[in-house]
Amino acid sequence: MSVEAYLNPDFTAVKKLIFLLVTAALLGIGIGFIYLVSLLVLGRDIPAKNRKQAVLGALEDKVQRFFEMIIAGTSVMSFSCAYVIINHLNTLVQSGVAGNLTPMEQRLMEAWTDGKDFVLLLLICLSCVINTILDSLIIPLKKLSKAEKATMRMLAMFYVIILLMYLNYIGDESQYSPVMMYYFGLMIGRFVYFDASFKDFLEALKNMFFNLPYMALNLALTGALCAFGFGVGYFLERNYFIMGIFYTHLFMLVCIFVIHLVWMIVKCASNKDKE
């Protein structure tokens, strides 16, 4: 099966535009919800003359946390999809269904057969690199500290584990157990490292707990978009549900890139007017 088949060749440019607009609309609703929460929380304690600036500052912080969840979730999902595709192709090769491999495909299958665990580790490292490039260069989330980004990335692993558990529950044909075990290992390593104190452990738990609403919002957004994508036939069940989920995240990335770019332009224009 070719890469084009995994992504559904019938998903035309017009359909992609429609799905992009739906994604932007749902993201807008999510940001609107975050704005209302910020307004309700800060509106009670801050004087009216300072309220607008305080709400905008809080909104930017919360939206960037939400964006980091999407970015980190996409990066983690890229590893999961790579595992599913390579494992599926390897099954086809081993059963004799797939033949006439290119030299590059042959080397990949040999590497997968001889050192699957090392390939998985390499893919995890690549997903971390992708995450850093996205949230530092392409969509720079400068309002978040390194600790805050680390918390959102850890939550993103938990978010993907929930998605994989659901895929196993509905009976998707792929085998996700090795992927989930890697993620569980990474999460445990984030909580319990060799020089961590009990206080560090509690601090990590507290940070994760207070950011759970962003994970819940991301799950709701992903669920709604996937339901729409599979419902109208943009994504195909035979290509594995995880491919539709990953494709959904790519569309979300495009939307948050545009939103972040517009936000920065408006912010710069506003600062110039004040000067």
Cα(28)–Cα(44) distance, rounded to whole angstroms?
25
Task: Note down the domain range covering 35.
Answer: 3-274
Least confident of 66-80, 184-198, 209-223, 248-262: 184-198
Q: 180 and 163 in contact (C-beta within 8 Å)?
A: no
pLDDT of the residue at 273: 64
Q: Are 81 and 246 in contact (CB under 8 A)?
A: yes
The whole-angstrom separation of Cα 103 and Cα 216 is 44
Cα angle: 48, vertex 50, 51; to 5 degrees? 60
Alpha-carbon dihedral of residues 167, 172, 178, 183, nearest 10 degrees?
-20
Greatest pairwise CA separation for the chain in angstroms:
72
The pLDDT tens digits of the residues spanning 80-107 come to 888 877 777 777 777 776 667 777 777 7
Q: How many domains does the chain have?
A: 1
Angle 202-58-137 from CA coordinates, rounded to 5°: 85
- Averaged pLDDT score across all residues of the chain: 82
Name residue, tokens 């299958």: 109
For residues 221 and 249, what is the distance between their CA atoms, to the nearest angstrom? 10
Looking up tokens 């290509």 gives 239
pLDDT, average across residues 153-168: 87
Measured CA to CA, the distance from residue 104 to residue 22 in angstroms comes to 38
Helix (H) or strand (E) holding 28: helix 13-43
pLDDT number for residue 200: 67
Q: Go through the chain and tell me how many residues it has.
A: 275
> pLDDT per residue over 175-187, tens digit each?
677 777 777 777 6
Q: Residues 159, 218: contact at Cβ < 8 Å?
A: yes
Closest alpha carbon to 201 in 212, 189, 211 = 189
**Kind plus residue range of the DSSP H or E element containing 242:** helix 241-274
pLDDT at 1 over 60: no
Q: How far apart are the first and last CA of the chain?
A: 58
**74-85 mean pLDDT:** 84
